[in-house]
Amino acid sequence: MSTQNADTIEEHTVLLPKDYVQKFDPDAYLQFYFSKNAIEDGTRISLFALPVFAQLMLQTMRPSERETLLDIGAGPTVYSALCFRDVAKRVHLSDYVDRNLEVLHKWTRQEETIDWVPTIRVIKRTEGGPVPTAEVCREVEEKARGLVKSGGIHFADVHQEVVVPAMGDQLVDVLVSIFTLESACHTYEEYCKCVNNMMKHLRPGGRFIIGSVLEDNEYNSGTQTIFHLLNLREQMILDALTNAGLDVANAKKYVLDGEGVMFLMATKLQ
């Protein structure tokens, strides 16, 4: 996700975790990562890993064990709801930035946001089967939208003891967080604390799914707005998850070296 190369090192401002509320632009982010061109140009590793995890959950958990899913730091994106539409009955999307939550609300009202069909096509390709028709894509999106309407759209702050206050005492069966903690944290100590905070929303025996950037210092959130990332080695993430009570030894993990990302699904120990 770095924007520098050796020949053209340019001075640029790197925004910090505290700048998300002021400076994160949901439209620029969606355009940069989820527009038709962006989806067709690059591999979205998440759209490969999440459907694989979804399939695994369908095979290993009874329907009654996977009713609720919470995505922490979803930003303006709905791809977790799209990927896990057959896994859960209720999907809760949450984020720190009100503008992101507004975009999610717009999507539930079927108002114009980004066109999710290119993303749905990639998800369907990962799931296998024929190239989906426009009607199939519409059904996938409608199902995901229904799940989010049954769940909710909530404020989240990973730095708080109670990350998503709107969840109250309700523990979820599946907790998802993609590219959020390394964006929200300055130090590894903070990171470990935030993992512990998040994990309080997951029931023992439930699944935690994390997507993380590895060993990078910054990323482009669209229109050359560069945000800081906490530089994490894989082992640092595994240690934080182990200490937070996850069964890391038996986790399902994808590390894509060329891409500098890791996706992992682990069970919360009883």
Ligand X SMILES: C[S@@+](CC[C@H](N)C(=O)[O-])C[C@H]1O[C@@H](n2cnc3c(N)ncnc32)[C@H](O)[C@@H]1O
251: left (phi over 0), alpha (psi -120 to 50) or beta: beta
The interface mask with ligand X, positions 181-220, x = CB under 6 A, is: --xx------------------------------------
Q: Which residues pair with 227 in a beta bridge?
A: 15, 219
Question: What residues are designated binding site?
Answer: 29, 73-74, 79, 95, 100, 157-158
And the tokens for 16? 């910090």
- Cβ proximity to ligand X: between 136 and 231 the closer is 231
Choosing from 68, 113, 119, 180, the residue that interacts with ligand X (CB under 6 A) is 180
Residue 266: which of 170, 174, 164, 179 has the closest Cα? 174
Count CB atoms within 10 A of the CB of residue 4.
12
- 130's CB contacts (< 8 A; 6+ apart) are none
* Least separation in angstroms between CB 78 and ligand X: 10
Q: Measured from the CB of residue 95, what is the shortest distance to ligand X in angstroms?
A: 5
Phi, psi of 213 (to 5 degrees): -75, 140
Is residue 159 near ligand X by the rule CB under 6 A? yes
d(CA 260, CA 159): 25
Binding site feature residues for S-adenosyl-L-methionine: 29, 73-74, 79, 95, 100, 157-158
**Phi, psi for 199 (deg, rounded to 5):** -65, -20
Which of 57, 140, 147, 178 contacts ligand X by CB under 6 A?
A: 178
Q: Closer to ligand X by CB, 180 or 267: give it.
A: 180
Measured between alpha carbons, how far is 102 from 235 in angstroms, rounded to an integer? 36
Residue number with the shortest CB distance to ligand X?
Answer: 75
Q: Is 50 helix (H, G, I), strand (E, B) or coil?
A: helix
- Taking CB under 6 A as the rule, which mask of x and - marks residues 64-103 in contact with ligand X? ---------xxx-x-----------------xxx--x---
Looking only at Cα atoms, what is the longest distance across the chain? 55
- 3-class DSSP assignment, residue 134: helix
> Total binding residues for ligand X by CB under 6 A?
20
Q: Which of 32, 107, 116, 179 binds ligand X (CB under 6 A)?
A: 179
**Binders of ligand X among 11-70, rule CB under 6 A?**
17, 20, 24
* Residues in contact with ligand X by the rule CB under 6 A: 17, 20, 24, 73-75, 77, 95-97, 100, 156-159, 178-180, 183-184
